[in-house]
Structure 1
């Protein structure tokens, strides 16, 4: 269940990051509320995951999902660069997170 919580935390982190850009485009209460809810939910699920997962692994996977997901969302919704090198770097981040799991994290 901890890994599910950790993945959920990463998805909410992506939502929070995405909403920062939305908030910069349209400063309104709804956007701000979703931004706060995204980051709040992210921290909640990260804390639940860290009850059983090692701190270093949980934090690395959480930030990896958030950073990679944010970059992918930028490519999809904001026409950011889709260069092969950028995609390779995203794959390296995600591969590193998987590697931490395979190296023995519970």
Structure 2
């Protein structure tokens, strides 16, 4: 169940970052509150996952999910530029996430 919580925490982290962008510097209340809710849920599920997963593994995977998810959604939702190098480095993050899972 800890791994499920960790993935969920990462997904809420990505959602939080997306709503942080939508909040436009915390000027839009609805998006600001949604950001806070997603970030709070992210930390709750991260905390639950760290009951059994070592922090060196859990935190690394959590930040990796957040970083790669934010880059990919940034390209899709906010029409940020796409290029082979950016996608290759996101692939490297995903490869590292899988590697951390395999060695834990």
TM interval, shorter chain, is over 0.9
> In the alignment, which residue of structure 1 is the partner of 2:52?
52
Instruction: Give every structure 1 segment of 4 or more consecutive aligned residues whose post-TM-superposition deviation is greater than 3 Å.
Output: none
Structure 1 stretches of 5 or more lacking a match?
none
Which piece of structure 1 moves more, 79-88 or 22-31?
A: 22-31
- Structure 1 position 63 matched with structure 2 position 44: no
CA RMSD of aligned residues (A): 1.2
Count of matched residue positions in the alignment of Structure 1 and Structure 2? 104
Aligned equivalent of 2:14: 14
Structure 2, unaligned runs of 5 or more: none
Alpha-carbon offset, residue 58 of structure 1: 0.1
Distance 1:54 1:39 in 2: 21
Q: 2:101 maps to what in 1? A: 101
TM-score where L is the length of structure 1: 0.94
**What does the per-residue CA deviation read over 1:22-51, in whole Å, with 9 as the maximum and x for residues that have no partner?**
001782321111000010000000000000
Contact 2:23 2:29 (C-alpha < 8 Å) held by counterparts:
no
